């Protein structure tokens, strides 16, 4: 009942990691591979390897997490080598691409194209944590230029990782841009709620070191915002699929994302905190909800949300 197809590939479960979480190197990726996840996605990569921002740069709180990692990654060649060695009969693999410039994204997707793999590209338009680099998806002209260039260079369907929006006019404008690009086959909603501030009152201090403590929120803080973004793009982009991401730590949360319109669902903060064993638990919790409600497949649930 948990199996589904997405971009022509079969997924035994709709669940996988949110990019950035437990996917930095081969050891972490292999742990995801060995887990009950339906897929896995690699850490957002840049052309060159990066060490990222100073630590502490991720902190969990009672309601979620805050991070400002700063795009530490091993460089796209490392993840492309992993994708070349991957056994696609085990589970599908996504590659997250987060170039620091349009030219960098073009160079990376050209190399991925030339490798001719079944790996699926998730183009990250929403990293909030590199000082001096605004989130591309908050600048609709920059987003349009990026998608025009990547669509022209890359010859396969790909997806985009989007930041949360908080205004109906922004949902309309973002969807209008995405709908100009048929190669954009899926939309992952949402990246972290950027540039929030968590404060420790005993120490009278911020909790992470980069950017004076400002960082992206995940976890319980973001679930309703994630659901709104999933549903907003599901309604506005009927030709595309939506991947839900944000605030998932139970089967009920996954079911909410499916109702809102998600085809697959990613797990971030809860995976970071609980480890890859979370996927077996979440699969069981989701299967129990489907059984109780009489659904034979997750595909029956997608977008079934009723309004009043
Ligand atoms: C990082 C954070 C993000 O939210 C993202 O999309 C990419 C990178 C980071 O800080 O490493």
- Tell whether the model's pLDDT for residue 133 goes beyond 90: no
> How does pLDDT run across 163-219, given as a tens digit for each residue?
999 999 999 999 999 999 999 999 999 999 999 999 999 999 999 999 999 999 999
Cβ neighbours, 10 Å, residue 275:
12
- CATH number reported for the structural domain that contains residue 94 in this entry: 3.20.20.70
For residue 179, the model assigns a pLDDT of 99
Peptide bond preceding 56 in cis form (omega within 30 of 0): yes
Give percent above pLDDT 70 in the chain.
100
Which atom belonging to ligand 1 lies closest to the Cα atom of 69? Answer: 10
130 Cα: distance to centroid of ligand 1 (angstroms):
8
Across the range 123-140, mean pLDDT stands at 94
- Domain residues for the domain of 83 are 4-52+71-191+221-300
Residue identifier of the C-alpha nearest atom 6 of ligand 1? 127
For the record, the structure tokens of 301 come out as 């649930």
CA distances from 14 to 73, 91, 183, 297 (A): 26, 11, 22, 11
- Output the CA 106–ligand 1 centroid distance in Å: 19
66 is a domain residue: no
Picking from 247, 212, 252, the residue whose alpha carbon sits closest to that of residue 226 is 247
Residue 203 inside a domain? The answer is no
Residue 124 CA: which ligand 1 atom is closest? 6
Q: Which atom of ligand 1 is nearest to the CA of 216?
A: 4
Q: Is residue 201 part of a domain?
A: no
Measured CA angle at 305 (ends 299, 307), to 5 deg:
160
Whether 123 is in a domain gets the answer yes
Q: Measure the CA–CA gap between 125 and 103, rounded to whole angstroms.
A: 14
Altogether, the residues listed in the chain come to a count of 308
Nearest CA to ligand 1 atom 4: 127
Tell how far CA 17 is from the center of its chain. Answer: 8
Alpha carbon nearest to ligand 1 atom 7, residue: 127
Choose the residue to mutate in 65, 94, 128, 209 for probing ligand 1, maximizing ligand atoms within 8 Å of C-beta: 128
301 CA from centroid of ligand 1 (Å): 30
Number of structural domains found in the chain: 1
Residues with CB under 6 A from ligand 1: 20, 44, 52, 68-71, 98, 124, 126-129, 191-192, 216
DSSP class of residue 56 equals P
Whether 34 contacts 293, CB under 8 Å: no
Q: Are 17 and 267 in contact (CB under 8 A)?
A: yes
- Concatenate the DSSP letters of all residues of 208-250 into one string: SSGGGGEEEEEGGGGHHHHHHHHHHHHHH-TTSEEEEESS--S
Does residue 114 form part of some domain? yes
* Separation of CA 146 and ligand 1 centre (Å): 18
β partners of residue 6: 9
Distance 205 CA to ligand 1 centre (A): 23
pLDDT tens-digit series, residues 83-103: 999 999 999 999 999 999 999
- 8, part of any domain: yes
119 within some domain: yes
60 lies in some domain? no
Residue 127 among the catalytic residues: yes
Phi, psi for residue 233 in degrees, rounded to 5:
-75, -30
232: number of Cβ within 10 Å: 23
If you ran DSSP here, which 8-state letter would residue 54 be given?
P
Catalytic pick from 127, 189, 237, 245? Answer: 127
125 CB burial (10 A radius; 0-12, 13-18, 19+): buried
- The answer, yes or no, to whether ipTM is higher than 0.90 is yes
Q: Determine whether 12 is exposed, middle or buried from the number of CB atoms within 10 Å of its CB (0-12, 13-18, 19+).
A: middle
Q: Which residue has the tokens 């991947």?
A: 243
Can you tell me the mean pLDDT for 289-295?
Answer: 98
């Amino acid at each position: 009942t948990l199996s589904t197809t997405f971009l022509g590939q079969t997924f035994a479960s709709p669940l996988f990691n949110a990019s950035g979480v437990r996917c930095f190197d081969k050891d972490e990726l292999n742990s995801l591979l060995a887990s009950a996840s339906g897929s896995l996605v690699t850490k957002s990569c840049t052309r060159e390897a990066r060490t990222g921002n100073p630590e502490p740069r991720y902190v969990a709180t009672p309601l979620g997490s805050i991070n400002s990692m700063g795009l530490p990654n091993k460089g796209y060649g490392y993840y492309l080598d992993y994708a070349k060695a991957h056994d696609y009969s085990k589970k599908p693999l996504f590659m997250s691409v987060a170039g620091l410039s349009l030219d960098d994204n073009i160079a990376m997707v050209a190399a991925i194209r030339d490798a001719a793999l079944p790996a699926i590209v998730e183009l990250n338009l929403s990293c909030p944590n590199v000082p001096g680099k605004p989130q591309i998806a908050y600048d609709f002209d920059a987003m349009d230029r990026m998608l025009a260039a990547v669509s022209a260079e890359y010859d396969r369907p790909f997806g985009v990782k989007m930041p949360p929006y908080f205004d109906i006019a922004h949902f309309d404008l973002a969807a209008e841009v995405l709908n100009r690009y048929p190669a954009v086959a899926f939309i992952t909603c949402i990246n972290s709620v950027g540039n929030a501030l968590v404060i420790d009152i005993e120490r009278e201090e911020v909790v992470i070191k980069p950017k004076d403590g400002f960082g992206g929120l995940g976890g319980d803080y973001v679930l309703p915002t994630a659901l709104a973004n999933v549903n907003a793009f599901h309604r506005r982009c009927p030709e595309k699929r939506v991947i839900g991401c944000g605030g998932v730590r139970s089967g009920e949360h996954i079911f909410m994302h499916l109702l809102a319109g998600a085809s697959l669902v990613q797990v971030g903060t809860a995976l970071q905190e609980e480890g890859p064993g979370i996927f077996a638990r979440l699969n069981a919790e989701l299967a129990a909800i489907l059984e109780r409600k009489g659904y034979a497949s997750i595909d029956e649930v997608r977008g079934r949300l009723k309004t009043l």
